[in-house]
Amino acid sequence: MNRRYRKTIIAGNWKMNKTATETKKFAEDLKAIMPKAKWCDVVICCPFVNIPAALRAFKDLRIAVGAENLFYEPSGAYTGEVSADMLKDLGVKYVIIGHSERRQYFGETDVTVNKKVHAALEAGLHPIICVGESLEQREMNITMDLIALQVKSAFAGVPAEKARKCVVAYEPIWAIGTGKTATAEQANEVCNAIRATIRHLYGARVARSVTIQYGGSMNPKNAAELLAQPDVDGGLIGGAALKPDQFVEIINAANQE
Ligand code: PEP
């Protein structure tokens, strides 16, 4: 990480876990063990229905609330969908876009990811744009090309002043929920390549200001080493963000770097 130029962001991705009642309990448990000072921004991205409870519960802890998805149209006949403005109006700050589970199970593509990035930015939300390769793609040695393509597609048509508001999360699919983590070197290599792609698109100033997270089985044991890498500016955390003690240990690791 490099605190001089960009924010360190530790973000939890709760996926389809926890009720509103459990959200409140999590916040109470967290409050008892949260460090007084934080040198990183902390975000919890939770299911839509838990957002009001999360906003209430995390306010005192100065934890921002994020959503896990949105729909790119501003309003209209899209039964079951949630717009960027609806999230913004509630007080949501971040939104995960293009998580590999959404690409895998819900048909998201680089094209829909780009539309969602535009919608989020238009509403004043910070998109957390997920990119990452499968194990097969890594073994075929196409990781760097694929990631560059995902990043270029996600940022297509986004002006520089808005690109600065984006967060990119490098999440190798083979490391998500599997307990297999990318080595610190592998994580930094790809995060560095993501920054190089952003530099190519927008120049050095924007590239050095964008927070690039690593995600994929980050936990209290491996967090410090991953976060010590110069191009890893935080984590997007699934499983370990469901447990207050583990989440706090990762925040503490970010505090120490
Ligand atoms: C994720 O879902 O974004 C993630 C990184 O999950 P996990 O930490 O459980 O691998």
Convert the pLDDT of each residue in 200-228 to its tens digit.
999 999 999 999 999 999 999 999 999 99
Task: Give residue 3's pLDDT band: very low, low, confident or very high (50, 70, 90).
Answer: confident
Residue numbers of the domain that contains 196: 9-254
End-to-end CA distance of the chain: 8
- Indicate which residue's Cα is closest to atom 1 of ligand 1: 238
Question: Which atom of ligand 1 lies closest to the CA of 171?
Answer: 5
Q: Look at residue 230 and tell me if it is in a domain.
A: yes
The mean pLDDT value for 58-68 works out to 96
pLDDT at 257 over 70: no
177 lines ligand 1 (CB under 6 A): yes
Asked whether residue 38 carries a pLDDT value surpassing 80, the answer given is no
Residue 165 in domain: yes
Q: Is residue 2 part of a domain?
A: no
Summarised one tens digit per residue, pLDDT across range 142-160 is: 999 999 999 999 999 999 9
pLDDT of residue 37: 79
The residue whose CA has the least distance to atom 8 of ligand 1 is 238
Indicate which CATH number applies to the domain containing 93.
3.20.20.70
Closest ligand 1 atom to 219 CA: 8
Which residues have a catalytic role annotated?
A: 99, 171
Average pLDDT over residues 102-109: 97
The total domain count for the chain is 1
This prediction has a pTM of 0.97
Identify whether 142 is part of a domain: yes
Q: Considering the domain boundaries, does residue 208 fall inside one?
A: yes
pLDDT tens track for 18-27: 999 999 999 9
* Distance of CA 240 from the midpoint of ligand 1 (Å): 8
For residue 4, being part of any structural domain is answered with: no
- Could you tell me if residue 104 is inside a domain? yes
Q: Is the C-beta atom of 234 inside 6 A of ligand 1? A: no
For residue 42, name the pLDDT band (cuts at 50, 70, 90): very high
Residue 1 has pLDDT above 90, yes or no: no
Query: Does residue 254's CB lie within 6 angstroms of at least one atom of ligand 1?
Result: no
Question: For residue 96, how far is its CA from the centre of ligand 1 (angstroms)?
Answer: 12
Cβ–ligand 1 contact at 223 (below 6 Å): no
Nearest protein Cα to ligand 1, atom 7? 238
Cα–chain-centroid distance for residue 61?
19
Rounded mean pLDDT, 132-141: 97
